[in-house]
Structure 1
Amino acid sequence: MGRTSVEVTQLGFGGGTIGDPDEIIPEAQAEATLAAAYDAGVRLFDTAPWYGNTKSEHRVGHHLRQRQRADFRLTTKVGRVYSRPSDPASFEFPRWKGGLHFDLRFDYTRDGVLRSYEQSLQRLGINTVDALVIHDLDWRHQKSEKGVQAAFKELIDGGGFEALAELRSSGEIGAIGAGMNFTGLIPRFLEYCDIDYFLMAMPYTLLDQPALDEDLPLCEARGVGIVIGAVFSSGILATGPTDNALYAYQPAEDTIMTKARGIAAVCARHGVPLPAAALQFPLHHPAVATVIPGANSPEQVEANVAAMAHDIPLALWAELKSEGLIREDAPTP
């Protein structure tokens, strides 16, 4: 990834979906899903305390503890610290249908970062991770520009990034990442922090490529790697433009549905499944190291693996550009 020595498979596993955001799946199904990914050759597993309110880390760790540690790459995230709920009996957390019952707070200070890191290792049951990712330091999660500035102050002046840099320089972790749900924050991160890679969710997909304006050229010039999350735009590029299709975790608007229909039609003309084009498209950018779709069943894993292996004719990319469905400057074969 980027300038680091952390090597990853082009297809990784995003741990958000097995945090039970929309449905509660049995533990045996979560275990079978992770096993299917590993057995198919996936060797990068990304998780976070936030996913399932710590459930994803428990599940990912439970499976990976059965594997040889040197054979896989494991990443998790910092920025939230968890504690017992003030009122366990009435706990509600609507973001994760199957989320575990713990309170959380954002904390990007040195103490918060190190506390989050240690808690994650304990939940995973694995005493090392390959990278730590600064999670959700953006306008949505911090509520405003003022909130973003306050979080950056914790990260920089409060010693959070210094703690991460010390973990990296000591060899305890191999890389430092930062999650990106929007364009516009990568230049700010790179001004203040020596980031190795960004986990980009939404700004660079088959549906939208705003990251080509500034963020991706800056990363490429500086040798900063990119991991693509939400490669299916949170749903619509996996399901197709169906009546209940999701985009950015919300029902897709008419303009998105129209564009998705156009992309799907081009894919159909070339005999290419829409998910195959969606998974493979970002990997043609030289800064992108891997894509990490989620899955909550072995069948979904198998579908992702098949989509990655599907042969895509060059004419498909050319037609998407000629129809104005992807940007002309988007790297393609």
Structure 2
Amino acid sequence: MQECRREERATDDAVADDAFAMTTLDRSTLGAIGFGAAPLGNLYRSLTDAAARATIRAAWNAGIRYFDTAPHYGFGLSEKRLGSALAEIDPDEQAIVSTKVGRRLDPVPDADLTRPRQGFVSPEPVESVFDYGYDAVMRGYEASRARLRRDRIDVLYAHDLGRLTHGDAHPHHFCAFLDGGYKAMRALRDGGAVRAIGIGVNEVAICEQVLAHADLDLILLAGRYTLLEQDSLQTLLPLCERRSVGVVIGGPYNSGILAQGVGGGAPVHYDYEPPPADIVARVARIEALCAAHGVPMAAAALQFPLAHPQIASVIPGMASPDEAAATIAAMATPLPPALWADLKRAGLLRPDAPVPGIAE
């Protein structure tokens, strides 16, 4: 990998100095369940402004106070919709809002706004382009703040770093972040513009790579600590515990497959794509065990990550008031201890995975 100017941390256990003291945002402040706002950007399908506003209001009325969005979600549309709704229902800015940097929005005046672009059916005549530089992060923060109508943003994540995302361009983007974007994020946090900084990613390896060079408050990890996948238990979650880094779990349903299941025959997604055969087979086994215990697989998927003490919140995406209500109902569904024992016995959960309702 090309050489970045920033030096590696001396040890995993090094403590940040007073100037870089961490801000604690944990489950007591974020809440066990937060709101993933990617669907508000018309992810895969169009959503009306009224439906988006009703969804946010339903989540608010259900007690949800943490909302996560990004400029990439609908190329600013998700941020605009979230900002508009919260301006009505939360004029005192009691909600905790996170958004992301690392993608700038460039004009595309000739774009066909009726077709999906980068997964979003958005009316915004822009598209997102990766840029982790200092100036891009500063400009991105101000643009997000304007779209969100907030005096400040609570949490700022660097979006989608990682080799699986960027391939051969990963070293370039990683160094741009360490040498520029991270410095900007630190300046924003240390100046009080944001309460906490972190990364929002889909890959475990990049979390460990960033933590070797940088101090973070939170990691938003999508899809990598779920009922379907627990490899992050091996090294990442212990590292986050040693470093006092909270972990927010995005994509608890692995792009929907753990909510919808595979028994109905309808198309499903895993990691935003059609699932491979081995994933379908594994989900079918999980689904069958949940059915044998008389519980919805979605409830098990939503509650499972929260058994780990390092998990600060779980933020499923919501696209309708019904989905908000279903999320609250899933959180309240009693799950028998025997379910977790059977999942471990079948090799569908790691033996060392903490599970709800059982101290380990």
Alignment TM class, shorter chain as reference: over 0.9
Deviations, residues 69-128 of structure 1 (Å, cap 9, x unaligned)? 342100000001113225357896252123522033211111010011011011112221
2:317 aligns with one of 280, 294, 304? 294
1:96 aligns with one of 103, 109, 120? 120
Q: Does 1:209 align with 2:230?
A: yes
Check conservation: 1:200, 1:228, Cα contact below 8 A.
yes
1:20 aligns with one of 39, 42, 62? 42
Which residue in 1 is equivalent to 2:178?
A: 156
Check conservation: 2:113, 2:123, Cα contact below 8 A.
no
Which residue in 1 is equivalent to 2:56?
A: 34
1:108 aligns with one of 124, 129, 132? 132
Check conservation: 1:86, 1:103, Cα contact below 8 A.
no
Distance in 2 between residues matched to 1:69 and 1:196, nearest whole Å = 24
Q: Please list, as runs of the form range in 1=range in 2, the aligned pairs for 1:185-264 lying within 5 A after superposition.
A: 185-241=206-262, 242-243=264-265, 244-264=267-287
Deviates more, 1:39-48 or 1:217-226: 217-226
Check conservation: 2:113, 2:121, Cα contact below 8 A.
no
SS across alignment from 1:11 = coil
Check conservation: 1:21, 1:99, Cα contact below 8 A.
no
Paired AA for residue 227 in structure 1:
V
Q: Does 1:303 align with 2:322?
A: no
* Number of aligned residue pairs: 329
Deviations, residues 186-205 of structure 1 (Å, cap 9, x unaligned)? 12101111111111111111
Q: 1:99 to 1:264 in 2, by over 3 A?
A: farther
Q: Does 1:81 align with 2:67?
A: no
Distance in 2 between residues matched to 1:90 and 1:26, nearest whole Å = 15
Paired AA for residue 130 in structure 1:
D
Deviates more, 1:67-76 or 1:292-301: 67-76
Check conservation: 1:79, 1:106, Cα contact below 8 A.
yes
Q: Cα offset for 1:289? A: 0.8
Q: Please list, as runs of the form range in 1=range in 2, the aligned pairs for 1:124-135 lying within 5 A after superposition.
A: 124-135=148-159
Distance in 2 between residues matched to 1:266 and 1:4, nearest whole Å = 40
Percent identity between the two aligned chains: 41
Check conservation: 2:24, 2:217, Cα contact below 8 A.
no
SS across alignment from 1:96 = coil
Check conservation: 2:105, 2:127, Cα contact below 8 A.
yes
Deviates more, 1:34-43 or 1:118-127: 118-127
Q: Cα offset for 1:249? A: 1.1
SS across alignment from 1:250 = coil
Which residue in 2 is equivalent to 1:180?
A: 201
Q: 1:5 to 1:311 in 2, by over 3 A?
A: same
Distance in 2 between residues matched to 1:139 and 1:175, nearest whole Å = 24
Which residue in 2 is equivalent to 1:64?
A: 86
CA RMSD of aligned residues (A): 1.8
Deviations, residues 198-223 of structure 1 (Å, cap 9, x unaligned)? 11111111011111121111111211
Q: Cα offset for 1:233? A: 0.5
Distance in 2 between residues matched to 1:202 and 1:195, nearest whole Å = 20
User: What residue ranges of structure 1 are gaps of 5+ in the alignment?
Assistant: none
Instruction: Give the TM-score normalised by structure 2.
Output: 0.87
Distance in 2 between residues matched to 1:90 and 1:319, nearest whole Å = 48
Q: Does 1:319 align with 2:319?
A: no
SS across alignment from 1:60 = helix
Check conservation: 1:168, 1:175, Cα contact below 8 A.
yes
Distance in 2 between residues matched to 1:160 and 1:259, nearest whole Å = 39
Which residue in 1 is equivalent to 2:24?
A: 5
Distance in 2 between residues matched to 1:94 and 1:70, nearest whole Å = 31
2:144 aligns with one of 115, 120, 129? 120
Check conservation: 2:65, 2:96, Cα contact below 8 A.
yes
Q: 1:257 to 1:273 in 2, by over 3 A?
A: same
Distance in 2 between residues matched to 1:90 and 1:323, nearest whole Å = 47
Q: Cα offset for 1:10? A: 0.6
Distance in 2 between residues matched to 1:90 and 1:309, nearest whole Å = 40
Paired AA for residue 132 in structure 2:
Y
Which residue in 2 is equivalent to 1:53?
A: 75
Distance in 1 between residues matched to 2:288 and 2:279, nearest whole Å = 14
Paired AA for residue 233 in structure 2:
L
Distance in 2 between residues matched to 1:181 and 1:140, nearest whole Å = 9
User: What residue ranges of structure 2 are gaps of 5+ in the alignment?
Assistant: 1-21
Deviates more, 1:275-284 or 1:59-68: 59-68
Distance in 2 between residues matched to 1:150 and 1:270, nearest whole Å = 49
Check conservation: 1:85, 1:91, Cα contact below 8 A.
no
Distance in 2 between residues matched to 1:41 and 1:90, nearest whole Å = 35
